[in-house]
Amino acid sequence: MAPDEDMRPVLSLLTQAFAHMEGRIDPPSSLSRMGPAELAQEAARAELWVIDGKTEPLACMILTPKAETLYLGKLAVAHTARGQGLARRMIDTALERARALGLPSVSLQTRIELLENHVTFAALGFEMTESSAHPGYDRPTTLGFRRLV
């Protein structure tokens, strides 16, 4: 998506898809601080990919080139579209983009509390590579995953 497009439907998808995290993760998701303007800034700074349905977006992700990897953030699939392989399609797109950009891998982070995400990303070919803590925390809050292209 281009940064001048209407970000409200994508933000709505993200908000709905990430709602199950509320009260489960600490600190809260950065999505709580994101509005349409901030999402448009992400689309200008990185690549915002969306799979559109007939009336609303079905899946989205933000791809950000880093020094040695393509970072995949804010991957979301609409509840009504789960089980249709859309996350796999998005990840395949991320792998294609990494190859096109000459990057050796795709990486992502997920919260330590979201065990179901760890299982899903492992099933999609990602390996856990690290743990890290948000500023002010003395325990790991995030796990990093990577998949070679």
| Tens-place pLDDT, residues 8-46 | 999 999 999 999 999 999 999 989 889 999 999 999 999
pTM confidence score:
0.95
Give the number of other Cβ atoms within 10 Å of residue 145's Cβ.
Answer: 22
Reported confidence tier of residue 144, pLDDT bands at 50, 70, 90? very high
pLDDT over threshold 90, residue 54: no
Q: Which fold has domain 8-148?
A: Aminopeptidase (3.40.630)
With 90 as the cut, is the pLDDT of residue 79 above it? yes
* 74 φψ region: left (φ > 0), alpha (ψ -120 to 50), beta (else): left
- What are 107-140's pLDDT values in tens digits? 999 999 999 999 999 999 999 999 999 999 999 9
Task: Please provide residue 40's backbone torsions phi and psi, each rounded to the nearest 5 degrees.
Answer: -65, -40
**pLDDT attached to residue 34:** 93
Place of tokens 């390996």: 127
Q: Are 142 and 110 in contact (CB under 8 A)?
A: yes
pLDDT over threshold 90, residue 98: yes
Question: From CA 2, how far away is CA 4, in angstroms rounded?
Answer: 5
Task: Note the pLDDT tens digit of each residue in 131-143.
Answer: 999 999 999 999 9
